[in-house]
Structure 1
Amino acid sequence: MARKGSNYCSTLNSQKSWTSGRLNSKDKQEFLYGRIESRIRFLDLEGGTWPAFWMLENRINQQPVKGDDDTSYWPNEGASEIDVWEWFSNDPDSYITNFFTGESNCGGLAYYQYPNGVVDVTDWHRYAMEWDEDQIDFYVVDESDQQTLVVSQDMRNCDRYEEPMFVLLNVAMGGMLGGDIDSSLEMATMEIDYVAHCTASTATDAAYCGEDTDTTTDSTTDTQTDITTETGFTGISNSSGGSMNSFILMALGLLGLFRSSIAKLSRRNKNKSTR
């Protein structure tokens, strides 16, 4: 969420006219390979809006700084970026996937054109990245559960993205991509149904992670247990039986403002007879 209102930014030592929220799983939940997926819709299409679902390598010198070798600066090794879904009002009929490494062999910019144009941004979609040491694929799944490959990137000659990364979701305002902010806009909201991480399984031919997880666990052990999600991907569950695949960012106690919105949205979804 982003909200209009004058606030002092201590980092930039200046007054700013907007406050923008960000979900950040650094030092809370980080991932190496598999499928990263989030179900998102964005409701405010006015000029200046710039929401994104993206990832950073976990050694970036960015808060929270834990002191676990997180001394790298963007976009150097240990602090490189992947954009899974980035939409901006300057080019509203599409979204981009992208990489930032400072290297030439580590993927590139790709566009996905929404079939119905900008109106599709307001509909629920699953945006996903499937990632291993040799290849990164980006996908979009629409409301009819039709999955489309956006682009496949050959990473065999790339020396990045071979260490854990964390997830970020935020709504930026203005800037080079957002453009001039519509003067009538007071608030911009990105709704997040869930964030999930899973790995491929031969149990089924399912194409994506999904929101729900079968969390069958052994309560007598403190070790992590492999489980299979309802969609045929494998994830990790903790010994108490709580899923670490879906609603990850909520469970990690991130921004309360977003957590409240997501909880309300979750209850609304559970009351629906169909999705």
Structure 2
Amino acid sequence: MKYSSSIITLAVLVSACSGPVSEELVKQDNVAAVSGWQVDFLDEFDTFNTENWQDQMIWVNQEDQCYVPDNQFNTREVSDGTLKLRVIDLGKKRPCNNISKHGEKHHDTQYVAGRIASKNRKEFIKGKWTARLKVENSGQSGMFPAWWLLGALNNEAPVQEADETVCWPMTGSGEIDIFEHHSDGGPDHYAARAITSLGYCDGGDWQALMLVQAATLGEYHDYSVELLGNDIIFRLDGIEVYRNSKDEDQFPEPLFAILNFAKINDSPMTQNWTMEVDWVKHEVWR
């Protein structure tokens, strides 16, 4: 049996003062020393792993772009160990087959983009989600890249399991936004929030539990959220920037992850937009 040097030193000191130290005591100290966050899912984007992710084609928030699958138009490229999600201006409007949760078909648009989800692939109850990512040329009008979580019982497309019947943002379909860049606030900032359910379908408070945080978005940062008990803790590069504590458990359900780049208004694009993701991981506390 091996023990850390600090524990061996502690055992020797205690033994010298008060007699032999039991092996059970050393075991307990050793367990305490190694407890903490342990990785149970990691994707470093060497390839696009369909056991971890699927493309998600959906129309939400009246967004102007059309999500397309299979890296069409280079909107979801995996190369050189990173994932690149892009909004691309095709220069000419084309039909879009994205459907809203109310059954509306997206209008024709010249903009296409990438969106992936770990729905029905990697879903976890609580724990810690982290993504290392950057967004180039932030602050351009209409930009809306995001890294976020959604309840696994959500009833929006694709519906693939019989229990996916819960409307947003009711329990089972709750939302946590780890990183969202709204360009209308200018460059180099992002929002992090937990959506407060108002108790009915489509009833969500976006503002009550929101942090707006400065960051140099063109450089890589680690954006994470921890769910421990009833606490929701947001971190930037490992440093706590916001904590939400309540008496009740707001997110008891399994959550899946989403990465997407949207366009939220009809402003013309002066260049293509890219969110580059180095890795995504989930950890469990043990």
Instruction: Indicate whether the TM-score tops 0.5.
Output: yes
Deviation at 1:102, TM superposition (A): 2.3
Distance 2:218 2:232 in 1: 26
1:155-194 aligned within 5 A: 155-158=246-249, 160-175=250-265, 181-185=267-271, 187-194=272-279
- 2:110 is matched with 17
Q: Which letter maps to 2:228?
A: D
- 2:26 is matched with none
CA shift in 2, pair 1:182/1:14, >3 Å: closer
- 1:111 is matched with 212
Distance 2:264 2:241 in 1: 26
> Which one of the candidate residues 222, 230, 235 is aligned to 1:134?
230
Q: Is the 8 A contact 1:39 1:192 kept in 2?
A: yes
* 1:78 paired to 2:143: no
Distance 1:109 1:13 in 2: 29
Deviations 1:190-244 (A, max 9, x none): 101110011235xxxxxxxxxxxxxxxxxxxxxxxxxxxxxxxxxxxxxxxxxxx
Deviation at 1:182, TM superposition (A): 4.1
Distance 1:40 1:94 in 2: 14
- 2:157 is matched with 63
Q: CA RMSD in A?
A: 2.1
Distance 1:65 1:18 in 2: 25
Q: Is the 8 A contact 2:190 2:213 kept in 1?
A: yes
Question: TM-score if structure 1 supplies the norm length?
Answer: 0.62
Deviations 1:132-188 (A, max 9, x none): 2310100011xxxxx321101103234x3101000000001124xxxx534423x21
Distance 2:267 2:192 in 1: 23
Q: Which letter maps to 2:251?
A: Y
Distance 2:240 2:131 in 1: 15
Structure having the higher Rg: 2
- Any stretches of 5+ residues in structure 2 without a counterpart? 1-85, 100-104
Deviation at 1:9, TM superposition (A): 2.0
Deviations 1:27-80 (A, max 9, x none): 011011111000001113222211000000000012331233101111222111
Distance 2:242 2:158 in 1: 32
SS of corresponding position for 1:90: helix
Distance 1:183 1:57 in 2: 33
Q: Which letter maps to 1:9?
A: C
CA shift in 2, pair 1:183/1:2, >3 Å: closer
Question: TM-score if structure 2 supplies the norm length?
Answer: 0.60
- 1:31 is matched with 124
SS of corresponding position for 1:112: strand
The structure with higher relative contact order (CA 8 Å, sep 6+) is 2
Number of residue pairs the alignment of both structures matches: 185
